[in-house]
Homo-oligomer: A and B are copies of this chain.
């Protein structure tokens, strides 16, 4: 008998196959441990899952054991696993784990692997997990596979009236893409080591494996150079990582099966370098650390022979510091104004037959490639580095899009995708989730497809601080993690959101602040502990999308990111739930939703009266009054429309037009944010009007 009380379609299918065909593995299964409704909640969904009858009970006698010394990666991961399991269950586990890593006997959780995994692309991360009623067996080719399997096992934790348990399952899992990254830009806003570490933990929880550390920007040079100490001393406002800290982060990531790829963005995005070395820029003059955001002029001078020994020495130092086989040189957004204005550079181009600035940058890149190759690194760069004449073992990192990636692959270049994964733009998890590095209509052949290594979520940090960055990354990055790990056929958006809710809470145990800090901001803004009305308003509000926030104020690296908009999630899950309900209601799927919508709309409407006194007491909150008023008015319109719809009364076009104007007003940005529920209410209005025709 199956214990999942409400199995979803594909689980049911899988079980049917099991029952009738004796087949051990099914095809891609949906979510696997059980949420309160009995449906599994694994994220990312494993390649193959089969749920069997029975439960493995978890009590304080649980033990875990495997080969290897206490210093081994798998052992340390198993220790963290037990600690997290104890934290979730409150169990006082009897196994004194640190003293006895391999308890005698056969029961409990036993893991085994063949060899230590290497931190490089195409390493084996597969694992097989078998939960029986008396024993859990986790096997893998490499210890990295063990790490991935332990995260799956944590997500399998389930509860019933007796206590905690794992459902009996057989899982065979491996990633679809080998490069599943998260970029964190620490240039525009520095992020201390503890921020990096907790995000590495969260990455590991959803099986991401590349931390792309964007270390230099116009706004800051964030890595200690012992060879050129002026770089970090003058270019960082004192906010940089020491080499000891970098080694610590690399070790921490390695313990979690995560590669650390550094990026030194050149020849553009490099103002902070020129604070120390103005002579390497393409224009005269002193340079200061950039405080504003945008694309800036300063760029290295490829015509100046002195920069090459400089990069040789610098990249030698960094190549030794960062063990990853890849090093990212950026290369994006070099506008070339400084190059155009510099006669020596123009003469250099002419002399060397470099037709345009793209050719000049290609020249620069070729020189750099030699240097990197000498120091044992493979080169990664943004789309712009894709120029004729570079060898095919470089990796093109696409911010421009899949088309660019396809072009590169057709010419034999490896690529990773970030276009569509810009989590700084406050887009929905759905958009990112459905963005596939290898969509089903890809024109590439199988060999070319193999060149698409994966993708990276990019956390550009113009508008984030260490207080807000977690909420800008999580939980949405987990949707990208699933896209890059799970089979291509895993595409159920609603089910992804269902599981995202669990992951979001689970990763809090790793120190993530994404769920905690909104309340903190609201307390700080209101000056008191009672922030419920502000939370209710925030449910209906999202930050302005894409680059719209930059149009609202001149943001700098010193601006406050502590306002209402910063307390709002990039994607409001309650707002999404509301929109879904409206769609289902209008489609006539469930008439009972009418009462539900009425309750929600009335609560939002009535919230305005509760927001006003808080606004009156706090100048910092005054900017949100239009949002609250807009929600009030939109909800009034929504309730009116709902009433007509419920009674089946059509309304004339003029009625809809008037309401539409109210909604258009309510939809206007305020406080650098916008209401995320107005379009759904407009649909209700249109439905009333439509029914007249």
Contacts and interface: CB of A to CB of B under 8 A. Distances in A.
B88 A237 contact: no
Residue with the highest number of chain B CB atoms closer than 10 Å, among A87, A97, A159, A192: A87
Nearest to A616: B161
A590 B93 CA distance: 52
Contacts of A244: 242, 244
Interface residues of A, number: 60
Contact of A519 (B89, B194, B237, B516): B516
A178 to B, nearest CB: 30
B554 A527 contact: no
Contacts of A554: 92
A529 B508 contact: no
A564 to B, nearest CB: 8
Contacts of A161: 616
Given A96-B291, A508-B523, A89 B620 contact: yes
A302 to B, nearest CB: 30
Q: Which of A162, A192, A506, A520 has the most CB of B within 10 A?
A: A520
Copies of this protein in the complex: 2
Interface stretch (A342-350, A400-408, A483-491, A555-563): A555-563
A353 interface: no
B87 A524 contact: yes
Contacts of A87: 524, 560, 562
A479 interface: no
B529 A520 contact: no
Contact of A513 (B505, B516, B524): B516
A618 interface: yes
Given A194-B194, A553-B92, A559-B86, A501 B516 contact: no
A502 interface: yes
Interface string A84-106: 00111111110011110000000
A508 B237 CA distance: 24
A577 B515 CA distance: 28
Contacts of A35: 527
A617 interface: yes
Contacts of A563: 90
Contact of A562 (B90, B553, B562): B90
A389 interface: no
Nearest to A516: B516
A288 B99 contact: yes
Given A513-B516, A519-B519, A529-B501, A89 B619 contact: yes
Nearest to A198: B194
A186 to B, nearest CB: 16
B36 A525 contact: no
A93 B508 contact: no
A619 B519 contact: no
**8 nearest CB pairs, A to B:** A516-B516, A90-B620, A194-B194, A86-B560, A87-B562, A90-B563, A163-B619, A505-B523
22 contacts: A36-B528, A83-B558, A86-B559, A87-B562, A88-B524, A90-B623, A92-B553, A92-B554, A92-B556, A93-B558, A98-B237, A98-B558, A159-B618, A159-B619, A162-B619, A163-B619, A509-B524, A509-B562, A515-B519, A515-B520, A515-B529, A519-B519
